[in-house]
Structure 1
Amino acid sequence: MTVHLTALARSARAPEVLARFWGEMLGREVMAEPVGLLLPGFETQVGLRFVADPAPRAAVDRAHLHLTSTTPDDQQQIVARARDLGATPLDVGQRAEEGHIVLADPEGNAFCIIEAGNAVLAGTGLLGELACDGTRDVGRFWAAALTWPLVWDQDEETAIQAPAGGTKIAWGGPPVAPLATSPRERFELAVGADEADGEIARLLALGTTRHTDRADGTAFMTDPDGNEFLVARSVT
């Protein structure tokens, strides 16, 4: 059994506010866990976790969410619902002729509502993409780490997707935003307890760095671009 991606975890000043916002946006139940608030994913949709961190924003985030829409009216309805829930318009230099709409969630995290008919995210579901800053090497690393097909590899840009389809993870290539001293997002992975040591060794061989493990045996690691991620040992 290889590691599987359970969630993108994000630090928040008020995790209950962000969990409620994103739960409403994605139609998912908020689950309280020992560490943070989880919006569980499933086979074709990545989960989200929100963890308390009162520290101010230290740097540009390396990941933001892309939500899909089915028609122009649907796109406007998603935007209106987000605004009603506390989102605000955000100018990141997008051009008027571009079809996507950029908003900021209640803590200022950017996300996009993608226009209907976007071929890249066709069939991905509502949470269409985690759009990340990162090099081609890190995209290829995560393809190997998760054993997900590399569905895009061109001009330093990469994207991967689970074999069953659904949410894509994309890396835009250079320039890459600098790492924050305390990064605000990380991938959370899980693997069966019996397979954990072998999978961690495989990840190390792929180019990760292992740091101090948590008391429960969760491995704290960084990928080739220096992004933090966790590998939890699940009991089946």
Structure 2
Amino acid sequence: MALRPVQVNIKALDHSAVGRFWAEALGWSDYSPGVTTYVGPAGGPVWPDPVVVGIDVVPVPGPKTATKNRLHLDLATNSPAHQAELVARLRSLGATPADVGQGDDVPWTVLADPEGNEFCVLEPREVYRDTGPIAAVVVDCEDPRAMARFWGEATDWTVREVTEDQAVLRSARGGGPYLEFLRTPGGKTVPDRVHLDLLPYPGDDKAAEVARLRALGATDLDIGQGDVPWTCLADPEGHEFCVLALP
């Protein structure tokens, strides 16, 4: 048994506008099958997508606080010209420069989407040549080794690298983004506006998967969700995530 990451969940005051931004940013399409806006590859909605990790933008009543999200997206580029063009295009779409303490000498560019969610536009890196537009889903953490143990057991993604400062996972099928945990000073203090959603495989039992996650160290999370078909949990460092019900 294992779960697969299927989408990044982003909370927004205006889910339609934020969904349109991310669709334009990634060269994908936005779909509104219900009360949320799903962003995935062009050509019609396929969910769950067999390769990419999509984005689901969910309406909430309150704005983002000034606290940096502990989960963000890194966008891939294939040349210095592509990086400069992408940054300019994103700013024309409503992205704004963001200061998360990166300094002036880093080769990537830090931006925020129209509601303040931070993300990075990376300089060209060979490791991300086949990821598609999202190079990595990046999570700030205190202990990358502990995160590798939990997420390596929680999902069907393979642990590619573990050091004191970083843990890297990716789908064993190849393609799509990496999942990276970076050692960052300070612990989690407020709920994030961005989190991962996981899905069981057909034939697997969602309740059994949730019980397995609890045994690995996940804890139940009450964010006011009420009676819903998904289960809200937190990993051992408090990062929120949801286990969705099979469609």
With structure 2 as the length reference, what TM-score do the two structures score? 0.85
Task: Provide the C-alpha distance between the structure 2 equivalents of 1:156 and 1:74, rounded to a whole number of angstroms.
Answer: 29
**Residue 23 of structure 2 corresponds to which residue in structure 1?**
23
Q: What is the 5 A alignment of 1:50-199? A: 50-58=57-65, 59-116=67-124, 118-134=125-141, 135-136=143-144, 137-165=146-174, 166-180=176-190, 182-191=191-200, 192=202, 194-199=204-209
| Alignment check: 8 A CA contact 2:218 2:233 kept | yes
Give the match's secondary structure for 2:172. Answer: coil
| Alignment check: 8 A CA contact 1:133 1:176 kept | no
Q: Deviation digits for residues 177-200 of structure 1, max 9, x if unmatched?
A: 4231x4312221122475212222
Task: Provide the C-alpha distance between the structure 2 equivalents of 1:176 and 1:139, rounded to a whole number of angstroms.
Answer: 19
| Alignment check: 8 A CA contact 1:214 1:220 kept | no
| Amino acid of the structure 2 residue aligned with 1:14 | D
Change (3 A) 1:35 1:175: farther
**Residue 44 of structure 2 corresponds to which residue in structure 1?**
none
Task: Provide the C-alpha distance between the structure 2 equivalents of 1:220 and 1:95, rounded to a whole number of angstroms.
Answer: 35
| Alignment check: 8 A CA contact 2:117 2:193 kept | no
Task: Provide the C-alpha distance between the structure 1 equivalents of 2:155 and 2:204, rounded to a whole number of angstroms.
Answer: 18
Task: Provide the C-alpha distance between the structure 2 equivalents of 1:113 and 1:194, rounded to a whole number of angstroms.
Answer: 37
Shift of 1:110: 1.6
Shift of 1:111: 1.4
- Note the residue ranges of structure 1 that are not aligned, 5 or more in a row: none
| Alignment check: 8 A CA contact 2:131 2:177 kept | yes
Task: Provide the C-alpha distance between the structure 1 equivalents of 2:152 and 2:204, rounded to a whole number of angstroms.
Answer: 23
Give the match's secondary structure for 2:209. Answer: helix
Change (3 A) 1:93 1:200: closer
List structure 1 segments (4+ residues) > 4 angstroms apart after TM superposition: 211-214
Q: Deviation digits for residues 131-182 of structure 1, max 9, x if unmatched?
A: 11123212321121112111121123211111122201111124144231x4
Shift of 1:100: 1.0
With structure 1 as the length reference, what TM-score do the two structures score? 0.88
Percent identity of the aligned residues?
A: 31
Change (3 A) 1:217 1:164: same
Change (3 A) 1:174 1:89: closer
Task: Provide the C-alpha distance between the structure 2 equivalents of 1:100 and 1:52, rounded to a whole number of angstroms.
Answer: 30
Give the number of aligned pairs.
Answer: 233
**Residue 232 of structure 1 corresponds to which residue in structure 2?**
244
Q: What is the 5 A alignment of 1:207-226? A: 207-211=217-221, 215-226=227-238
